[in-house]
Amino acid sequence: MGPLLAALGLDPRQSLPMRILVVGSGGREHALAWACARHGSAPEIVCAPGNAGTAELGANVAVPVTDGPALTRLAREREVDLVVIGPDAALAAGVADACHAAGLTVFGPSAAAAKIEWSKTHAKQIMDRAGVPTARWCSGNRESRSDLFDFILELDGRCVVKADGLAAGKGVAVCDSREDAFAALAACLNERRFGDAGDAVVVEERLRGPEISIFAVCDGSRYRLLAPARDYKRAHDSDHGPNTGGMGAYAPADDGCPPLVEIAEQVVEPTLAALADAGTPFVGCLYVGLMLTADGIRVLEFNARFGDPETQVVVPLAGPGFLDLLLAAARGELTGAGPPPVAGAAVVVVAAAQGYPAAPRTDDHITGLGDIDDDVLCFHAGTARDQRGRLVTAGGRVLGIVGQGADVATARHRAYQNLERVHFAGMWSRSDIAILPAGVRR
Ligand code: AMP
Ligand code: GLY
């Protein structure tokens, strides 16, 4: 069958519906599953564990995202063609390694390559080795804390104190004074507020400027860039309130952004080369958190996965060929140079549950999704079906409403217009997502 199809110019792998396993349960994973499902070949989607939104695209299977053996068993039973891993915890737990060992095709880096996210010291070492522009830094632990004290004094407290390991987005303290910085250091090293993740600490120079997120789909040596995005991490308008997983995002965020080719040359290419040289080639999505400072771009962090909620806006702009891109990267076969065409703009506004981020309330009945316009997307995050089959809240970030349009202003209007049609008790959102600085129009 294969040779015959090949002789006819058909790819035998395209002749049967593909099966894709998406690992994770957030808005990012619903967006990734949706992007795979819209491929021309109408692939079958399995999500582990998924949410009420992914259940509408295919099958949800209740397997924890860090259980490599159970996930590989599931992938083999369902004969999946590609495993797409969403969350950092799954990567750090070695789920991609387990998939490789089982002979599966997987989009997501090995735990060793993902260390660029789960150890900030390692990320800084790679940045230095690659010559990537970043803030001056110092790392240490309880034993070497005098180095950290000295560096804080040198910076006169205007620094950022970061727990080395994964701390659910809470391990970073942006400090204005020596007192703040010493308190943040004590929270990691003495109080052990972040557990093992804070046993080592990175202190770095505090920079200023707008931030953007760059996503490079990588096959170990080659890459393709997606649209740059900007997310909103604070809970309330004008960037007030506590940090969250992200209350909204827009793309493309190219206002004030240098040409993508410059970012690729200064950051993505040397980083991929350094990772390959270290014996940890990176296959997956390299997420570059950048600050645009008066002195040029500076890398704040790397993540080894797609961003959430940035994926919800980047993926709709990547077109129906997105799955081909993931497959090519996972197979080490990326071709072509330059970013794919970006048509228009997209804005996501997150509808959060009462009490988020401290203590989100669950089990509130969600209504109004049927009233959302056809060209507006609704990605589920913390949603589930109750015993009566009703859609209910099941997490802090509940839904992301994605408007699209020729420019950010139009996309924003579409997102907020449709958000008003959705209801659940205690629902709240930011009202200033994607309001661009005066004079910028896209
Ligand atoms: P990170 O997890 O390292 O990206 O840090 C989380 C957030 O802290 C970033 O999105 C920035 O808003 C802020 N941040 C991190 N590093 C710096 C820095 N060197 N200067 C100023 N702000 C920073
Ligand atoms: N939106 C930030 C992140 O995914 O880490």
Domain boundary pick from 140, 172, 205: 205
Q: Which residues touch 223 (CB under 8 Å, ≥6 apart)?
A: 216, 217, 264, 268, 269, 272, 286, 334
Residue 10 lies in a domain: no
* Mean per-residue pLDDT over the chain, rounded: 93
Q: 309 C-alpha to center of ligand 2: Å?
A: 7
Say if residue 41's pLDDT is above 70.
yes
Testing ligand 1's pocket by substitution, the residue of 124, 172, 239, 295 carrying the most ligand atoms inside 8 A of its CB is 172
Contact between residue 266 and residue 132 where contact means Cβ atoms under 8 Å apart: yes
Residue type, position 298, single letter: R
Same domain, 23 and 104: yes
In terms of residue numbers, what domain contains 48?
Answer: 18-109
Under DSSP, the state recorded for 198 is G
What is the per-residue pLDDT across 380-419, written as a single tens digit (0 to 9) for each? Answer: 999 999 999 999 999 999 999 999 999 999 999 999 999 9
- 301 touches ligand 2 (CB under 6 Å): no
Say if residue 76's pLDDT is above 50.
yes
- 206 touches ligand 1 (CB under 6 Å): yes
pLDDT at residue 204, rounded to an integer: 97
Under DSSP, the state recorded for 386 is -
What is the per-residue pLDDT across 146-168, written as a single tens digit (0 to 9) for each? Answer: 999 999 999 999 999 999 998 87
Say if residue 169's pLDDT is above 90.
no
For residue 167, give the ligand nearest its CA: 1
Under the banding of pLDDT at 50, 70 and 90, the label for residue 256 is: confident
Q: What is the CATH number of the domain that holds 78?
A: 3.40.50.20
Say if residue 180's pLDDT is above 90.
yes
Same domain, 90 and 164: no
Q: What tokens does 271 get?
A: 């980083």
pLDDT at residue 207, rounded to an integer: 97
Residue 42 lies in a domain: yes
pLDDT at residue 5, rounded to an integer: 54
Q: Between 341 and 82, whose confidence is greater? A: 82
Neighbours of 367 (CB within 10 A): 13
- 207 touches ligand 1 (CB under 6 Å): yes
Residue 185 lies in a domain: yes
Say if residue 9's pLDDT is above 50.
yes
Nearest to 286, CA basis, from 425, 80, 114, 106: 114
Residue 183 lies in a domain: yes
Domain boundary pick from 70, 89, 109: 109
pLDDT at residue 336, rounded to an integer: 67
Q: Which atom of ligand 2 is nearest to the CA of 28?
A: 4
- 308 touches ligand 2 (CB under 6 Å): yes
Point out the least confidently predicted range of 15-19, 68-72, 85-89, 290-294: 15-19
Say if residue 2's pLDDT is above 50.
no
Residue type, position 46, single letter: V
* Cis amide prior to 357 (ω within 30 degrees): yes
Cα separation, 170 vs 293, whole angstroms:
23
Testing ligand 1's pocket by substitution, the residue of 291, 302, 310 carrying the most ligand atoms inside 8 A of its CB is 291
What are residue 424's phi and psi, to 5 degrees? -160, 155
pLDDT at residue 339, rounded to an integer: 47
- 204 touches ligand 1 (CB under 6 Å): yes
Q: 195 C-alpha to center of ligand 1: Å?
A: 20
Point out the least confidently predicted range of 64-73, 238-247, 392-401, 432-441: 432-441
Under the banding of pLDDT at 50, 70 and 90, the label for residue 37 is: very high
Instruction: Name the residue at shortest CA distance from atom 5 of ligand 2.
Output: 307
Residue 376 lies in a domain: no
Under the banding of pLDDT at 50, 70 and 90, the label for residue 188 is: very high
Residue 328 lies in a domain: no
For residue 300, give the ligand nearest its CA: 1
Edge-to-edge strand list for the sheet holding 377-380 = 230-231, 248-251, 345-352, 397-405, 377-380
Nearest to 110, CA basis, from 96, 130, 124, 123: 96
Under the banding of pLDDT at 50, 70 and 90, the label for residue 357 is: very high
Instruction: Name the residue at shortest CA distance from atom 2 of ligand 2.
Output: 307
Q: Which atom of ligand 2 is nearest to the CA of 246?
A: 1
What is the per-residue pLDDT across 293-335, written as a single tens digit (0 to 9) for each? Answer: 999 999 999 999 999 999 999 999 998 889 999 999 999 999 8
Residue 82 lies in a domain: yes
- What Å distances lie between residue 274 and 93, 116, 277, 439, CA to CA? 22, 11, 5, 39
Under the banding of pLDDT at 50, 70 and 90, the label for residue 248 is: very high
pLDDT at residue 439, rounded to an integer: 56
Q: 415 C-alpha to center of ligand 1: Å?
A: 28
Under DSSP, the state recorded for 13 is G
* Cis amide prior to 87 (ω within 30 degrees): no
Residues in the chain: 442
Mean pLDDT of the 75-89 span: 97
Nearest to 305, CA basis, from 1, 2, 26: 26
What are residue 14's phi and psi, to 5 degrees? -90, -5
Say if residue 342's pLDDT is above 80.
no
DSSP reduced 3-state for 431: coil
Q: What percent of the chain has pLDDT over 90?
A: 85
Q: What tokens does 406 get?
A: 């020729």
pLDDT at residue 25, rounded to an integer: 98
Same domain, 165 and 99: no
Nearest to 332, CA basis, from 264, 283, 268, 270: 283
What are residue 403's phi and psi, to 5 degrees? -95, 145
Angle between helices 111-118 and 269-277 (to 10 degrees): 130
Q: Which residues touch 89 (CB under 8 Å, ≥6 apart)?
A: 65, 66, 166
Say if residue 353's pLDDT is above 90.
yes
- 300 touches ligand 1 (CB under 6 Å): yes
Residue 129 lies in a domain: no
What are residue 410's phi and psi, to 5 degrees? -70, -45
Cα separation, 119 vs 297, whole angstroms:
22
Cα separation, 51 vs 24, whole angstroms:
9
Testing ligand 1's pocket by substitution, the residue of 160, 161, 302 carrying the most ligand atoms inside 8 A of its CB is 160
Cα separation, 248 vs 201, whole angstroms:
29
- What Å distances lie between residue 376 and 231, 290, 316, 373, CA to CA? 19, 29, 11, 5
Q: Considering its fold, how many domains does the chain have in total?
A: 2
